[in-house]
Amino acid sequence: MNCSSGQDARRRDRHGWNDLDHYLSIHFAQLKRLGEYIVERDELEIDLTDADTLRIKGRIYCVHSLFLDVAKTLEINDRHQVRTIRYKYHAGILGETPRSIFRYDNAHPYTEHPDDHHKHFYDLVTWQEVDPPQWVGRNALPTLAEVLEELYDWWNETGQFL
Amino acid sequence: MAMRNVNPAGITELANNLIRQRTFLREYDERRSGLQARVTDRERQYAIKSEHVHDAIRSGRLKESQEVCDWIMDYELLQRSGR
């Protein structure tokens, strides 16, 4: 691989190493943008659990009683760059009983999947999980902002008619 | 005995640094204790040791629910912080 194709590959990898300040700038800029139409309250906590590990955890409250529970573990290298190694994006809707809508995570490797990145689906009548989880793959893995946009689309296309 | 010559401003700076370090170490201990407590709770709840969670999911004894997902992440954080 020559130098330029290597740079292209890194540019394409949205989930690779990123400078900490750049990562946080994008994170907050995206939440601010999404605050214009879906995010109502951001209750994510960002802290270190050890010198090499950053954790982002909490709930993002959205319009129409939607919410997204987020848990991300990011490793930090000696150049103060970060990359996500574990994550969970659990979308739901508040009510008398909170209901699950979908969940992306890479917490458990399924033997029939090429990698750990998958999505859990829920039946919108019984609100029970529909097995098995569907493989997503690292390259197709959405960002936090894209998951929030997906949740917003779900409301417009499905949720509001339930 | 050789005495270190530290001016008052230096002493204040040293004290402030030590207080910051103490705050950080306390928060670190609290986070680690919280992680340990949550992991222990889940192990008791499901009667499965954390190191066997993936095997339990594979064998069908345990479902990868959101709670189990959190458990796996907490356990990994605990392991990372104990390296």
Q: What is the pTM of this model?
A: 0.89
Q: Give the contacts of A8 (CB within 8 A, at least 6 positions apart).
A: none
Q: Is the ipTM of this complex over 0.90?
A: no
Q: Which domain range does residue B74 map to?
A: 8-81
Give yes or no for residue A3 having a pLDDT over 90.
Answer: no
Per-residue three-class SS string for A31-71: HHHHCCCCEEEEEEEEEEEECCEEEEEEEEEEHHHEEEEEE
**Pick from A53, A107, A108: which is nearest to B81 by CB?**
A53
* Smallest CA–CA distance from A128 into chain B, residue: B65
Q: What is the pLDDT of residues A76-117, one digit of tens each?
A: 999 999 999 999 999 999 999 999 999 999 999 999 999 999
Cβ-Cβ contacts under 8 Å between A and B: the total is: 59
Residue (of A39, A71, A70) closest to A155 by Cα position: A39
Q: Which two tokens stand for residue A24?
A: 């946080």
**Count: domains in chain B:** 1
Give the residue from A49, A105, A112 with the most B CB atoms within 10 Å of its CB, the best one to mutate.
Answer: A49
Residue carrying structure tokens 């008619």: A161
Q: What is the pLDDT of residue B2?
A: 66
- How many Å is the maximal CA-CA distance in chain A? 57
Determine the 3-state secondary structure of B1 from DSSP: coil
**C-beta of residue A100 within 8 angstroms of C-beta of residue A115:** no
Domain-embedded: residue B1 = no
The DSSP secondary structure of B23-80, one letter per residue, reads HHHHHHHHHHHHHHHHHHHHHHHHT--GGGHHHHHHHTSS---HHHHHHHHHHHHHHH
Query: Residue B73 and residue A69: Cβ atoms within 8 Å?
Result: no
Q: What is the pLDDT of residue A2?
A: 46
Q: What is the pLDDT of residue A9?
A: 53
**Pick from A52, A107, A111: which is nearest to B64 by CB?**
A107
